[in-house]
Structure 1
């Protein structure tokens, strides 16, 4: 689905005279593969390069060097840009930046209409997308009257109506309350498990990353750690050195181990913690 080889991207700052004042390497020799149907989480503190990487996956940015292939289409090739954006849809942090129509179903229909899909097929896609995100009853509503979580689900429906193979979500729950976060994550998991859509989730919430099949941790434009969530989060000291937290259960297990209690340090859930403590007796 996605193949990145030695990606490099730099932001160049210019002064008022147009002269180069500084260069910041936001992505520094990054390589990774994502298979169809995977659920990938990308973590990193602010400035780590994770959102810049997300924009590359949708061909909003192009690498300075290296290659990024989406379904074997090179993102540097201008003639593939629209095919790439149909294959890899993007959901941004603030749903208000992505919702443009005054009626929910019109907003979901916007993408297919703009690529010339015939009216009957657009109707089918809109109905399908709203059903998947469980927002059918709001089809005739104004997006302005929806909660943050509902708006984000509408934004996801708009991407779904384009029938993508992959959805990239750039911190989609950062502006939501716990209820809204739960709504969006439930939708994302459903898309991945039931509809087999590849998910690439950019997040700074460790509890969200736990849901993924594979986690990449970025720092200073590089991939600093990667592996199964259980393996990555068990490296508590390394994560803290990278200025990142780990799930609360994992941190508690780490502290107990440091205190001399013989308990596994790769625990992710409360149930696992309870089971491990019971086995100590």
Structure 2
């Protein structure tokens, strides 16, 4: 694996074994089915798919919460199946989950963010430096003395992101981080993820089923039934509106509107991603 690769997945298959009350095997479900995937350092990658497509199961392999039934996963050159690597893998690839309440343990925001580095044995002075930089990175520094219970969903999720950043990971995996948030909270979290990618150079992997969130990615992978069925830039993916509909996935509303206008004979480009692009395309068409 080259030094430029943050993640490399080869022929990954993961099976859940279902058992009855006596512990006998009832059935086997293949959640991830022969997936190959590469992510370079510093990229912003999105993995899309409806519920049950295997995207969250795949994500949990990226920081060794799950291990392959078959195939191999390397994180920053480390094979996750080698038990000696687990600590380094989890330190290198942090994870932000759906429900911030499951991740927040401290009574005060800054204590919560310092929890990870403290567990890593970082000296106290450096912990406070990390807490400060992490909270500033997600725009939550002024809340450092607050109790997490008094924060909004989006703010809590930003505190959990700060807790991951404080451990100085090279890669952060966001596993449907906005599923439980309102639209404003969703925007806050995606904005924080983009800033970490652009400013700090952290590799971001975003697992989501919200189309609007993936338009900033360098690359998008679409999953269905445990396999990767589409991959490309957001523009390439969103140029295939009908195929996405078949996979029970929507597209951003602006993209859909552009697609409908095209069908009615308006000669505008495929894969329009935001309002500004659509307005410019229509203006260019008229004159």
Equivalent residues in 2 for 1:53-72 (5 A)? 53-72=58-77
Structure 1, unmatched stretches of 5+, are none
Does 2:116 correspond to 1:116?
Answer: no
Per-residue CA deviations over 1:89-110 (Å, capped at 9, x if unaligned) read: 0000110000011011110111
Does 2:44 correspond to 1:44?
Answer: no
Deviation at 1:261, TM superposition (A): 2.1
Per-residue CA deviations over 1:175-219 (Å, capped at 9, x if unaligned) read: 111111111111111100010000000011101011111000000
Deviation at 1:280, TM superposition (A): 2.0
2:233 to 228, 235, 250: 228
1:139 to 140, 144, 152: 144
1:184 to 174, 186, 189: 189
Does 2:153 correspond to 1:155?
Answer: no
Return the alpha-carbon distance in structure 1 between the equivalents of residues 84 and 254 of structure 2.
48
Return the alpha-carbon distance in structure 2 between the equivalents of residues 200 and 105 of structure 1.
25
Return the alpha-carbon distance in structure 1 between the equivalents of residues 164 and 149 of structure 2.
19
Equivalent residues in 2 for 1:1-281 (5 A)? 1-281=6-286
- Runs of 4+ aligned structure 1 residues displaced above 3 Å come to none
The alignment covers a number of residue pairs equal to 281
SS at the partner of 1:194?
Answer: helix
SS at the partner of 1:57?
Answer: coil
Per-residue CA deviations over 1:23-48 (Å, capped at 9, x if unaligned) read: 11000000011011000000000000
Deviation at 1:265, TM superposition (A): 2.1
SS at the partner of 1:76?
Answer: coil
Return the alpha-carbon distance in structure 1 between the equivalents of residues 242 and 112 of structure 2.
45
Deviation at 1:260, TM superposition (A): 2.1
SS at the partner of 2:272?
Answer: coil
Return the alpha-carbon distance in structure 2 between the equivalents of residues 32 and 43 of structure 1.
14
Return the alpha-carbon distance in structure 2 between the equivalents of residues 34 and 253 of structure 1.
30
Return the alpha-carbon distance in structure 1 between the equivalents of residues 254 and 140 of structure 2.
33
Per-residue CA deviations over 1:207-264 (Å, capped at 9, x if unaligned) read: 1011111000000000010000000011011100000001111111211222222222
The CA RMSD over aligned residues, in Å, is: 0.9
Return the alpha-carbon distance in structure 2 between the equivalents of residues 85 and 17 of structure 1.
34
Deviation at 1:128, TM superposition (A): 1.1
Per-residue CA deviations over 1:54-94 (Å, capped at 9, x if unaligned) read: 11111000000100000110111111111101100000011
Deviation at 1:125, TM superposition (A): 0.9
SS at the partner of 2:74?
Answer: strand
Structure 2, unmatched stretches of 5+, are 1-5
Return the alpha-carbon distance in structure 1 between the equivalents of residues 166 and 59 of structure 2.
20
